[in-house]
Structure 1
Amino acid sequence: MHTEEKFTDKSDLNLEYFFELSPDLMCVAGFDGYFKKVNPSFINTLGYTEAELFAKPISEFIVQADRAITKSKRENLLKSNLLTHFENRYQHKNGAIIWLSWSSIALQNEQVVYAVAKDVTVKKNIEIERNRLLQTLNETNKDLKHFNYSSSHDLRSPLSNLLALHQLLDDSAIENPEVAEYIALLKLSTQNLNEIISSYMEKWIKKDRLILDLIEIKFDDVLNKTKNAINELIRKDQVIFLTDFSEAPSVVYSPDYLQSIFLNIITNAIKYARSGVSPIIRISSKKSGNNVQLIFSDNGIGIDLEKAGENLFKLHQRFNPSAEIDGKGIGLYLVYNHVTSLGGTIDVSSQLNVGTTFIITFKVRKQI
């Protein structure tokens, strides 16, 4: 059936006008995959002549990437007789991409498909651009968060060394009162900066529950990085490390989160060591069912778990009021949030003047 065919009665004439004047793309296609009839809007939108549209299979006008899904939808249409709101891309004669939204009905007896399409190219291009901008904004926001977190995290290492150096200074040996005052102010400023950075890190972790970059990380690598970051503190307190990661050498996790877990638990073990006893920190890993466990044990002053109760991992909680120990009650809060935010658990056992053990169970994840 071609456009030059004439309708004989009045109803046919009205339908012909409707077909010819419609702003939507209308066509009749055969079950053989060829156009049989197209209206002027179809020709104007795609830029091909009627003869060109009839000469090749319909699939050859469709963008290559959409041909498979179009074929599948067409096969379903021929079985179910109806298809609505299907979008695919056609290639204009000049190479431009045209997005069409189809509604079609198949007539088995006549072996033809009647179809109407709307040109939704402008809407789709706006949608694609919007999604591109949202993706760019999301990546920028993600980079900024990573920069903020990394900067604060990296600053904590030299700050820990500065605090350790301050502890080594013998204020009583400084004879010049002005120099002693400057050193005292420098120490106070360092402590305040450390507290501010720790607080900012805690706020970001609390708010940020977006998907993180999860990669496979070796426990040995994280431990070495942590030891390098606080080497002055380790040297001063003569810390002994006993490690065994042979059973479970790695875990898929957030690098920043895992680094913070190591840093906070290890610095706590050093900070809360028993007087006159060199800190011994045992770190091991093992498989637990389908999950991985990381165990930290120390020989420090311990925690009164009965007294601490449910406040153990809450913000600004201190369970040893000794003025000699500079604790802000942030470290365990950060560790708890790092672990639980990714579906893990953390258990604690402790005995006063014997030591503390943390068992962290990581929920096994696939690398993103």
Structure 2
Amino acid sequence: MNPKSSFSYERFFDLTPDLVCVAGYDGYFKKINPSVCQLLEYSEEELYSRPINEFIHPEDRPITQVKRKNLQAAKPLINFENRYLTKSGKTVWLSWTSWPIPDQEVVFAIAKEVTQKKKLETKREDLLKSLSEKNEELRQLTYITAHDLRAPVSSILSVFELLDLDKIEDQETADLIQLIKRSTLGLKENLNKYLHLIAEKDNSSTKEELLNFSEVFHQVLVAIQPLIQSSEAILEADFTQSPEIHYNRLYLESIFLNLISNSIKYRQEGITPQVKIKTDRLKGRTVLSVKDNGQGMDLAQVEGKLFGKNQTFHQHPDSKGIGLYLISKHISSAGGKIQVESEIGKGSTFTITF
């Protein structure tokens, strides 16, 4: 007996813990396994009778509709995350991998629940944000304390200068006053040291040096090589017009890292990501441009928010709204500016004038 003939694919469909379904181009479920009913808390009849869109979290419906159109255009969907609402009102996160079958006008999809992972990510981000804020508060408190204590310390030292120790007959008292004066002088010196160390640490983060664009660029490429390889991205770089710049190394690395990784992360499905980086000299200033063929953006919708903190405009799981914010801060702190040209479906070009 052929073992293949006795194997029940229907049983595999029913027993798998993953959510497996067949959806029609009309937006309705055509077939679902028991895991879908168990997670969403609806019966098969309820899930079959209502449009899939009704079970999706309202905030995620627009991006899901975009992905659905891509599927109908024969573009597979890999690791797309969105939220669904259960019958009892709970929000669950699902990560979808879907394949369209155009001749039958259906989509075969498998999903894994990633609610716990998303909660952990959110908790981690909240903790990091809180830690960062606390560190900044402590830094400011240290600076203020060291700075403001110098005034009363200086006042105490002024009092010592007014004292005439020759008029103090008790030698033990005179020695005690001298001891207090030396201790106060030591306190002032320590406060000055703390202020110097704080200022030195702040300045070290903005220290500028002569940098070679190509050298920094290739150093960043090493860090994101796995991302480049997995996406098969094509990168072209031309720094001949302006090969060097006096700038902070950490800032330039961050600019390259964020712009290149964003270009790859927000690529168009089914299209090999291409990123073109070049430098120019315009009106005596160095200009860096990073152009991609990615998803692009509607600039009218993101106007005034693009470089804001925690602003996200794509549903990529790694979108945190920090990269462009950091780039903007790096550039503005050094007196430069950043501009963007973008169109949905045609990619984006970021231009930095140092």
Alignment partner of 1:113 is 2:115: no
Structure 1: runs of 5 or more not aligned = 1-9, 213-288, 291-341, 345-361
Please tell me whether residue 176 in structure 1 is matched to residue 204 in structure 2: no
Paired residues of 2:19 and 2:112 also in contact (CA < 8 A):
yes
The normalised TM-score by structure 2 is 0.52
**Distance (whole Å) between structure 1 residues aligned to residue 133 and residue 204 of structure 2:** 12
Of the candidates 43, 49, 55, which is equivalent to residue 55 of structure 1?
49
Residue in 2 that maps onto 1:100: 94
Structure 2 CA distance, aligned partners of 1:77 and 1:209? 51
Q: Which segment is superposed worse, 136-145 or 175-184?
A: 175-184
The corresponding residue for 2:85 is 91
For residues 18-76 of structure 1, what are the alpha-carbon distances to aligned partners after superposition, in whole Å with 9 as ceiling and x for unaligned? 21121110111111222111110111111111121122221221112222222222222
Compared CA separation, residues 188 and 126, structure 1 to 2 (3 A): same
Whether 1:82 and 2:47 are equivalent positions in the alignment is no
| 1:165 Cα deviation after fit | 4.3
- Counterparts of 1:39 and 1:162 in 2: how far apart (Å)? 80
| 2:12 aligned residue (10, 14, 18) | 18
1:81/1:107 contact within 8 Å kept = no
1:364/1:204 Cα in 2 relative to 1: closer, same or farther (>3 Å)? same
Instruction: Give the letter aligned to residue 60 of structure 2.
Output: D
* Partner of residue 138 from structure 1, selected from 126, 132, 138: 132
Please name the residue that 1:222 is paired with: none
Mapped partners of 1:68, 1:160: distance in 2? 64
Secondary structure of residue in 2 paired with 1:199: helix
**Which letter does structure 2 place at the counterpart of 1:176?**
E
Alignment of 1:157-306 (within 5 A): 157-167=151-161, 169=162, 171=164, 174-176=167-169, 178=171, 179-207=173-201
Deviation at 1:11, TM superposition (A): 6.5
- 2:122 is aligned, of 118, 123, 128, to 128
* CA shift digits 1:270-326 (9 cap, x unpaired): xxxxxxxxxxxxxxxxxxx99xxxxxxxxxxxxxxxxxxxxxxxxxxxxxxxxxxxx
Which stretch of structure 1 is more off in the superposition, 138-147 or 191-200?
138-147
CA deviation after TM superposition for structure 1 residue 100, in Å: 0.8
| Alignment match, 1:153 | 147
Q: Percent identity?
A: 44
Gaps of 5+ in 2: 207-283, 286-328, 338-354
Letter in 2 for 1:57: P
| TM-score normalised per structure 1 | 0.50
Q: Deviations over 1:150-203 (max 9, x none)?
A: 212221222233334444x25366343545444433322221001112223333
Question: What is the count of residue pairs matched by the alignment?
Answer: 212
Which of residues 38, 47, 51 is equivalent to 1:44? 38
Other-structure match for 1:69: 63
The structure whose Rg is larger is: 1
C-alpha contact 2:74 2:102 (8 A) present in aligned 1: no
SS, match of residue 17 in structure 2? coil
Q: Relative to 1, partners in 2 of residues 1:112 and 1:23: Cα closer, same or farther, differing over 3 Å?
A: same
Aligned to 2:265: none
* CA–CA separation in structure 1 for the residues paired with 2:75 and 2:107: 9
Query: Cα deviation per residue 1:310-354 (whole Å; 9 max; x = unaligned)?
Result: xxxxxxxxxxxxxxxxxxxxxxxxxxxxxxxx989xxxxxxxxxx
For 2:204 and 2:45, the matched residues in 1 are separated by 55
Q: Is the 8 A contact 1:174 1:180 kept in 2?
A: no
Aligned residue type for 1:152: A
Cα drift, residue 80 of structure 1: 4.2
Distance verdict in 2 for CA 1:188–1:133, change over 3 Å? same
Match of 1:109, SS state, is helix
Q: Cα RMSD (Å) of the superposition? A: 3.4
Provide closer, same or farther for how the CA distance between residues 43 and 192 of structure 1 changes in structure 2, counting only shifts above 3 A: same
